[in-house]
Structure formats: structure tokens, C-alpha cells
Amino acid sequence: MAIEIKVPAVGESITEVTLSQWLKKDGDYVEMDENLAELESDKATFELPAEKAGILRIIAKEGDTLEIGAVVCTIEEADGKGASTTQNNTTPTATPEAKPATQDNGSTGAPVEIKVPTVGESITEVTLSQWLKKDGDYVEMDEDLAELESDKATFELPAEVAGTLQIVAQEGDTLAIGAVVCKIIPSGKGAAAAAPSSASAPATAKEEEEEKEQNYAAGTPSPAAAKILKEKGIDPSTIKGTGKDGRITKEDALKAEKKAVEPKPAATASAPKAEPSTTAPKAAAGSRDERREKMSSLRKTIAKRLVSVKNETAMLTTFNEVDMKPIMDLRAKYKDKFKDKYGVGLGFMSFFTKAVTTALAEWPAVNARIEDNEIVYSNFADISIAVSAPKGLVVPVIRNAESMTLDEIEKAVRDLALKARDNKLTIDEMTGGTFTITNGGVFGSMMSTPIINAPQSAILGMHNIVERPVAINGEVVIRPMMYVALSYDHRIVDGRESVSFLVRVKELLEDPARLLLGI
């Protein structure tokens, strides 16, 4: 009796998938839990396993878009064919020795699936950035196996049991929460070393060659590599894969692309008679290579949020300028003593943070947010600091900044910036801010209109300091000036509040003694 293999439910928001590749052929004998095909959704790529052993009958074709629950294939009962296949592939002397090999491994049960854990309410997918162990390695319980990267943080995936690692997902794969990353065959210590010697004794060179030929990964491109090869019109069978078991990786596809471009001039030169009347466009001088990179989870999330903010908020920006001379004179006078006492440098960020928290207390709407049909006012100031990390923009939060001193703020900024650059920020350190400060001046920006960090209602943009002539007390003098910008949600913050807030920040920065005195 045949059973139907259907597209499984892979996430609440996923309604359809694409059958990207068959890993088995129609009529093949397949074992239970053996991977049959690769399915690709808008969030992840995953395998379709066989629910029983038998003969595969393919229904859907590669490239078909299938709804959740649609029939992909059927599996017919083997009627003894599976047993004969096993006898053909295994010699009589090897069969009785297979059981002791399993016992030597110390196996205590079926493979344990290691899945992507739930890491936050708003996180639905992660990217497998790096494997810390190799396929076939023996791992201890709680030992880190891989690094997973979400749109907010990077974290490790620990082993749930001790045993031999079997890798399922590849580096660079985007995985939904709950997707299988790898499997661990439970075993005792030293089993990994004993298993190869026990298993290799009965195997012959001919059997090893047959196993390699039957390995579907050999010459098979990963989803990312397949897209690149398809776009460039390159046949995967002409490429030798360098990945596990001969699998074609993204890097292989990129290299093949360069090699595929080279023969074109030779082909044109060898057949000049075919195009005697064709007027070909003049080739552009210089290299015209291109490269494609898959967007990371962080970059995709940033893109979605920025577009969402522009579409869902009534965002306006107001500007002012700050005379930075008072703060610069104060820093020049006390920066050495400040560093000797507190062990951290005295920067501009602590002054801006302190000025912002004082102004937020006077204009609470700038510190508010909209939830459903209500406006939530916070009597505390959790200041988000935009930091440019290697993998993209992150916004860690300084909690209760209104009650912190200048040295405490500087230490918090330093610690969060170091964690961001090392990809060590946690989810808690990046959520819950009430107001954001971003400093484009470190990159040379003179003026900009920063985008609100939703669900907050406002963001302050700092810029570079430029010496220019200004009129003070009827005289033209040269002063170090900085433009500051406040982008705000007009649904919550009115023009009077936004302008008054920014003017208050300007007053405090131009007279830093008021920050220390609290006036």
C-alpha cells in the first residue's frame, strides 16, 4: 500500500514552498527518514524526509510551487525489494559484523534532532553563520556546535546529548525556528574513534566506490549555488564541488562564473564567419565582473523595518545647531583627570545622553510610543545608541540613563560598542529603548534626517563638528559648530514639543555646567 508524502507545515506565516531539487529519482528504493527532496520557502530551505521505506514515485516536479499539505510524492511498499537491495550491497561476512560495530559505538537510541531554539518573540528565522564542529565529530553534552545569527544577536547552539554529530543544515542557510540543524547519534566517550575502525574493516574498496556514487550530495549545488548557476547558464555537472561529499558550494559557483566568462572571446575568434554582418557593440574597457551575496537576516530585517517606519509613521525632522566650544574646552581641561579617575575617556556621547534625558523629562511625549490605540508614556529614559557593527547597524540600550553619571554613561557606551563589534550583544541588550541617539558625524556626515527606531517616537542625529563663522554679540567669530536633527512621529509629538525639545538640548550642551547642576 502506497502512502502520500505531503508538504509539512513549516511556520505560521508560510503558505507555500518551492520544490527546488529532488535528491532521489523516481523508482529509487528509499529508507525511512532518508531525505527525498529540498523544499524552499521565503524564509528557509529544508529537506523532505521519507516517512517509510519503499519505492519512490515522484508526483511534483522541480520548480513547482506547492501549498502546505500538497502531495509531493508517494512511497510504495518494497515487497522484499528493500531486503534484496541490502543483500546485494552487503556481503554475508559483513552483515553479522555490522551489529557489533553499532554496539562498539555505545549507541543508546535513535538519533536526536537538534533544532533551532526559540530566541525571542519577534524572531522567526536565523542564519547558520558557522559550524564549530565537523560532521562525524564526537561532541559532549552542552558543547557548542554552531553559531546562529538572528536579526538582533549571534548565539551558540549547544549539544543536547553526547554522541556523534551528523550535520543537516549548511553554513549560510536561513532556518525557521524549530527547523532541524543537525542530528546527534547518542554514544559513549571514545565511540567516534572506535566507529571508523570497526566499520571500515568489512568494507571493500568496491563498496566504498558504490557508496560515493550513490551519495546524492556529489555534484549537487546548494540552493544559493543553484540560483547563481541558473542565472549564469552554467551546467552543475561541469563543476567539481568542494563542499561536504562533493556538494557544490556558493563559492564554487562564483568561481565557476569567472571561468565560464573566459572562453567567450575564444569562441568568437574561432567562428568569425558566423557573424560577418553583425555589428557588435564596442566592449567597455576594464573589468565588468559582478558578484551576488545573499542578504543576511540582519540586513533583511533592517530593510523591512525602515520601510515600515516610513510607511506607518508621520515622520518629520527639525534641525538646529550647537556651539560645541564649551564642551570641547571642558573636555580639553579635564579629560586626563577624568580618565585617570574613571578609567574611561570623556567623549561627546555622555554629554548628549545627559542632555537628552533632561529634555525628555520636560517633554515626555518625545519619550512616548503608540501601542494599539493608546499612547504609553515612560517615566524613565532607556537610551538606544546606534552602533555600526561588522554585520550591520545595531542599537543596544542604556537602561535608566537619566539616573547615570557621565562616567557611568561612557562606560556603558564603551561596553555596548565592544560587544556589538564582537557580535556578543544579547536580545535583552537590544530591546526596549524609549529614545535613540545616532552619530553620523564619526563618518563625516554634515547633516541628515535619521529614521525613527520603531516603536519609539523620536531619534536625535549628531553630525560632524565644523569650524565656521558665526555671529556672537554682534561680532563674527570662528566656532566649532554641529548640526543636530530630531526626527519625530507627528502622530504623538507636535511641532511645538519637537522644536522645544531640541532647543532645550542645545541650551544644555552650550552650557554644560547646567547638566552638572541639574538646572
**Residues that are catalytic:** 490, 494
Give the whole-angstrom CA distance, residue 85 versus residue 75. 16
Other beta carbons less than 10 A from residue 309's beta carbon: 19
Q: Which residues contact 95 (CB under 8 A, 6 or more apart)?
A: none
Give the whole-angstrom CA distance, residue 255 versus residue 52. 39
Read off φ and ψ for residue 445, nearest 5 degrees.
Answer: -70, 130
User: Which grid cell sits at 400?
Assistant: 535608566
Which residue bears the cell 550491497? 89
Q: Which residues contact 142 (CB under 8 A, 6 or more apart)?
A: 158, 159
Half-sphere exposure for 450 (CA within 13 Å, toward CB): 30
- Closest listed residue to residue 453, CA positions, set 125, 152, 62, 50: 152
Give the whole-angstrom CA distance, residue 262 versus residue 259. 5
Judged by DSSP in three states, 187 sits in coil
Give the whole-angstrom CA distance, residue 519 versus residue 289. 60
Which residue type is seen at 370? I
Report which secondary-structure segment, H or E, holds 379. none
Give the whole-angstrom CA distance, residue 85 versus residue 376. 68
Which residue bears the cell 554682534? 474
Kindly give the residue spans of alpha helices, DSSP state H, lying in 313-347. Answer: 325-342
Give the whole-angstrom CA distance, residue 318 versus residue 509. 17
Q: Taking the chain, what is the end-to-end CA distance rounded to the nearest angstrom?
A: 84
Give the whole-angstrom CA distance, residue 298 versus residue 239. 32
Read off φ and ψ for residue 160, nearest 5 degrees.
Answer: -85, -20
Read off φ and ψ for residue 391, nearest 5 degrees.
Answer: -100, 5
Q: Are 384 and 401 in contact (CB under 8 A)?
A: no
- Closest listed residue to residue 2, CA positions, set 30, 40, 39: 30
In terms of residues, how long is the chain? 519
Q: At what angle do helices 223-232 and 250-261 cross, to 10 degrees?
A: 10
Judged by DSSP in three states, 466 sits in strand
Q: Are 206 and 28 in contact (CB under 8 A)?
A: no
